[in-house]
Chains A and B, each alone.
Chain A
Amino acid sequence: MTKRVVITGLGVVSPNGADITQFRHALKNGVSGIQHDPQLEQLLFSCQIAGKPVIDTDRISQYFTELEIRNLESTGIVYGVIAGLDAWKDAGLKPAPDETPDWESGTVFGTGTSGIDKFRGAIYKLDNLQIRKLGSSIVAQTMASGVSALLAGKLGLGNQVTTNSSACATGTESVLMAYERIKSGQATIMLAGSTSDSGPYIWAGFDAMKVCTYKHNETPEKGSRPMSATASGFVPGSGAGALVLESLDSALARGAKIYAEILGGHLNSGGQRGEGTMTAPNPLAVQRCLSMALKSADIQASEVEVINGHLTATVKDTLEIQNWVTALGRSGKDFPYINSVKGMIGHCIAAAGSIECVASVLQLHEGFIFPNINCEDLHPTIEMLIDPERIPRTCLHKEFNILVKASFGFGDVNACLVLKKYNHG
């Protein structure tokens, strides 16, 4: 007998809002979190704009001990721990007591790479023959699972504690992995989420691949343009998103606030076969992932009301829309509403999926569809596929029941999640 799974807590550290209240406001009002980044300019990046959450030191000291702060050089861990603990609190949960772990609670908290600034510092010391001066904090901050390990320690989690990694699909994958664990009865509560470091050392590789825009260094807020005719590459971002997943039984038993139900989802890969490569998606795999997600959720394509896309503001946006059209068998005016958070915050790499899942849940729970900013000049190929009215440019206040969220990543990997509004009573 499988368990129904609901979402009972949310946390977010986003470039356009470093907590749920700010993020909700930014989403509804189309507030950009993209700014000029002097360090990127100094280091001769082609793209000198980025999305970086704003967190002051007072806030950090509420989440980390004095000792942890001393050598803390992993922005990803800072974002992940803040978002994760916020979600836990939002769910009305407390850390386990001192002596006993909470055997029924765990976490899947993903990242691409952890503590890249910490790593850089360590490498400089090492090359200067100062290995003995590294201290004890390197491993815990540079191991990929550093973020899930720290969260588990702070909360006393005694179930599965792991970090997943699947490039830009990481965040959505973490939610699905946590969902499966609860659905199969192996855990009662799982903290799902993902995080991504800020700064030149995490973003440089993308700049070097020429996948980031270099046309908006003077107009940062206009830089990230999903679905626009003038989209010219993504804007790098960073941050973290976190969601508390829980069995419906547990949520009802403790009278928790329920944001939404996870009906199902799917994870797959195009195997880098056909049109799929390390960096390009195999469209058949994407379409299959979307169709299989609907099948797993036991809903018809006609029931989908809102899509939160991956839509990065690259040449692949058109292909993504084509894939949705094909998978759902819907186009023109019949197409669901679709939006992309990336117009406001850029592409937060490993954190993108989880921040966007938080945005998806907020929309579903509160009955709004946030505006797509920077696509006033809709791409003509997209306009041929779906009616422009289905791509809201202003916030729509509208109750709806079914939202589908998808994320796609390097390595030709795909993740798709089906969410339903939860009606109490």
Chain B
Amino acid sequence: MDREVIISAIKEVAAPYTQDKQALDEISETTSFITDLKINSANLVDIVLDLEEKFGIEIDNDSMAKMLDVKSTLDVIEAKLAEK
């Protein structure tokens, strides 16, 4: 799956969790969920659950712990999709 497609899916999933719509519009691989999108860290687990549903994948605890920015999230999603 194209990385741009995955980024736009991440953007869609993250949207309800951020109040900073401008930062969301400027989302890129370097975007951090917590420092850039100012998402409450408690909601990271909800974002992971939403991504699992969206991509039909299952994300283990170790992978989940890495998913703090768009790039690492992309890497995890690509790896899990490849395993399918």
Which residues from chain A sit less than 8 Å from chain B, CB to CB? 66-67, 70, 132-133, 135-137
- Smallest Cβ-Cβ distance to A135: which chain B residue: B46
Whether B16 pairs with A135 at a CB distance below 8 angstroms is no
Given contacts A136-B42, A136-B43, contact A67 B17 (CB under 8 A): yes
- Chain A CB within 8 A of B79 CB: no
| Distance from A149 Cβ to chain B, minimum over Cβ atoms (Å) | 13
B residues 4-43 with Cβ under 8 Å of A? 16-17, 42-43
- Residues from 33 to 62 in B contacting A, C-beta threshold 8 Å: 42-43, 45-46, 49
Q: Provide the bound-state CA to CA distance between A87 and B45, in Å.
A: 34
Q: How far is the CA of A133 from the CA of B59 in the complex (A)?
A: 11
In angstroms, how far is the closest chain A Cβ from the Cβ of B33?
13
| Smallest CB gap from A67: residue in B | B16
| Residues in A whose Cβ lies below 8 Å from that of B49 | 132-133, 135
- B16 near A136 (CB under 8 angstroms)? no
| B17 cross-chain contacts in A, Cβ below 8 A | 67
**Bound: A193/B80 CA distance, A:** 49
The B contact surface, by secondary structure, is helix
Min CB distance B20 to A, Å, is 13
CB-CB nearest in chain B for A139: B42
A-B contact pairs, 15 of them (CB 8 A): A66-B16, A67-B16, A67-B17, A67-B43, A70-B16, A132-B49, A133-B49, A135-B45, A135-B46, A135-B49, A136-B42, A136-B43, A136-B45, A136-B46, A137-B46
Q: How far, in Å, is A146 (CB) from chain B's closest CB?
A: 14
Q: Give the nearest-CB partner of A68 in chain B.
A: B16
Smallest Cβ-Cβ distance to A66: which chain B residue:
B16
Give Cα distance in the complex from A132 to B42, angstroms: 14
* B43 contact set on A, CB distance < 8 A: 67, 136
- Give min CB distance, B56 to chain A, whole Å: 14
Residues of B within 8 A of A70 (CB): 16
Whole-angstrom distance between the alpha carbons of A136 and B16 in the complex?
A: 14
Most chain B beta carbons < 10 A, residue from A70, A132, A137: A132
A121 to B: closest C-beta gap in Å: 14
What is the CA–CA distance of A332 and B43 in the complex, to the nearest angstrom?
62
**Measured CA separation A70–B43 after assembly (Å):** 12
- 6 nearest A-B residue pairs (beta carbon): A136-B42, A67-B16, A135-B46, A136-B45, A136-B46, A135-B49
Closest-by-CB residue of A relative to B50 is A135
A228 to chain B, nearest CB (A): 50
CA gap between A40 and B51 in the complex, in Å: 37
- Given A67-B43, A132-B49, A136-B45, output 12 extra A-B contacts at Cβ < 8 Å: A66-B16, A67-B16, A67-B17, A70-B16, A133-B49, A135-B45, A135-B46, A135-B49, A136-B42, A136-B43, A136-B46, A137-B46
Residue of A nearest to B53 (CB): A133
